[in-house]
């Protein structure tokens, strides 16, 4: 019988199992091959999860000793709120696990953690072509109506 999904904070020992998930997430968004995320950024990101001065956090979904997904989130100030606001920056599940509740469980774990940490809001963005994920997101959150603009410097 398959064990239930467990959501937990990452540990330093998770790096070898987390890394393929991270690499697959980046590849999904076109950061692979010649446009791959430099490994030093990956290492820096990983170390930030364990630095008490950083507002960045990571959790993983695990079943039967295998990591099935990851979620990264961070806290920041907001001009119209007193407490911190939580930005869910990265969410990824193995393709074989999509539609099985892993993504939902990771999002709900961020909700619980953010609430416990005094945040009144969790938000995130996804690419407009990510229709599969948007089906999940439409069931667990409200669309804000805001459009994201950015400029590379």
* pLDDT at residue 1, rounded to an integer: 60
CA 18 to chain centre: 12
* pLDDT at residue 33, rounded to an integer: 80
Residue with structure tokens 């820096």?
Answer: 44
Q: What is the 8-class DSSP label of residue 12?
A: G
pTM as predicted? 0.93
Domains of the chain, start order: 6-140 (3.40.630.30)
pLDDT tens per residue, range 77-132: 999 999 899 999 999 999 999 999 999 999 999 999 999 999 999 999 998 898 88
pLDDT tens per residue, range 39-92: 999 999 999 999 999 999 999 999 999 999 999 999 999 999 998 999 999 999
Tell me how far CA of residue 73 lies from CA of 33, 45, 115, 137, in angstroms: 26, 11, 13, 16
């Amino acid at each position: 019988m398959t064990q239930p999904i467990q959501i937990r904070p990452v540990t330093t020992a998770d790096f070898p199992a987390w890394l393929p998930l991270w690499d697959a997430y980046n590849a999904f968004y076109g950061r692979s091959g010649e446009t791959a995320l430099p490994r030093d950024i990956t290492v820096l990101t990983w170390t930030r999860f364990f630095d008490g001065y950083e507002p960045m956090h990571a959790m993983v979904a695990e079943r039967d000793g295998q990591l099935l997904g990851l979620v990264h989130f961070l806290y920041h100030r907001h001009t119209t709120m007193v407490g911190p606001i939580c930005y869910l920056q990265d969410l990824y599940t193995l393709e074989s696990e999509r539609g099985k509740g892993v993504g939902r469980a990771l999002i709900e774990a961020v909700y619980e953690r953010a609430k416990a940490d005094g945040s009144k809001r969790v938000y995130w963005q996804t690419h407009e072509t990510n229709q599969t994920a948007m089906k999940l997101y439409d069931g667990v959150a409200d669309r804000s109506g805001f459009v994201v603009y950015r400029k590379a410097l």
